[in-house]
Structure 1
Amino acid sequence: MITIVDYKVGNLGSIQNMLKKIGTNSIITSNPDDIAKADKLILPGVGAFDSGINSLKEHNMWNVLNDRVKKDKIPVLGICLGMQLLCNGSEEGKESGLGWIDADVVRFRPKDKKFKIPHMGWNYVETQKESALFNNMYENPKFYFVHTFYAKANDDSGIGQSSYEVTFDSVLEKENILGTQFHPEKSHKFGMKLLENFIRYY
């Protein structure tokens, strides 16, 4: 069973609908007991970094998430803000992130005015190394982005990159911990294939 973590910062129905299309059952939950029984986790999210971190703590999810992901090593996929929360911290806020991946989240500061912020719309992802997340992926994979901040990996966890004036890490992977800056649930066949691969291979 896929468990979609509901910490009150995002529309989770579209993720569940995409999972239904690929024949996968899931639950949306704020209950720490459900998270404790999860086989795989999806940590979505939109909005501000500190609000996301504080919401995880306020809903008593912080400790159980750390236990399941760091101790029990179950697979987790962070999406958009959810991926940023996996990192050390963000220029957007003052709170520390989960710190599961050694990466820092920084703001786009475009010099060319044609690069509007937030970065919104379709963009390509170029894989930096082999990953089961991209098994049998369609050619020239592109995904849907909406974000003002992006991750900079400090190690080799950046497995996919995209460009928007600067080149940034749009996919992170470290052992059982994965993240996408884009929204696979809004990315048609490319996002569907990526979610299929997460379910099948992790």
Structure 2
Amino acid sequence: MIFNYPNGKRYNPKPEQAVKIKKEKNTAYSNRGMTLEEDLNETNSYYLDRAIAVIHKKPTPVQIVNVDYPRRSAAVIKEAYFKQASTTDYNGVYKGRYIDFEAKETKFSTSFPLKNFHEHQIVHMKSVLDQGGICFVILRFSTEEEVFLLEASHLLTFWDRMKSGGRKSITKEEVKDFGNQISLGLNPRIDYIKVIDYLYKLS
């Protein structure tokens, strides 16, 4: 089956990478090379298994463009496109509150580029805040292995600054000043619920 990204580029999975990731599962946590998404998925599984919170990653929307019907009772997808997600990465519920957040990482060490976000994601986050939901972004500086939770209200301020002709990134110092660093652990790996408890007095 052929998958294409929104820009038309073909998605070609590399089997050797899948094998490498599988092997790394058994190594020490500090050397696993996990992506932010994988760490968050494991964290959310930890929360779910212990009835702490119900938070899931939203599936990537797919546009099917070519289907083969080898027989009446079966259909085979021959070609499809990964569509650009229209909202954020994760949502769910915690202690009766709606949770919605986006996760991004960068290799830059002194700033976080705002181009990592899309206009429609910003609009969505504003809508969540307007409805009284808890909305934020989790930012990972991959080189230093530092992870921060930045409330959406602050992200919107930096986004508006860019739109007004200001800088096109959030400085690392601004992330530290307005965000909350999340200490990396084992179980859970990225305990962002602890930060939510602190910010919204939910504990």
TM over 0.5: no
Structure with higher helix content: 2
TM-score normalised by length of structure 2: 0.28
Please tell me whether Structure 1 or Structure 2 has the larger radius of gyration of its CA atoms. Answer: 2
Q: What TM-score do the two structures reach when normalised by structure 1?
A: 0.28
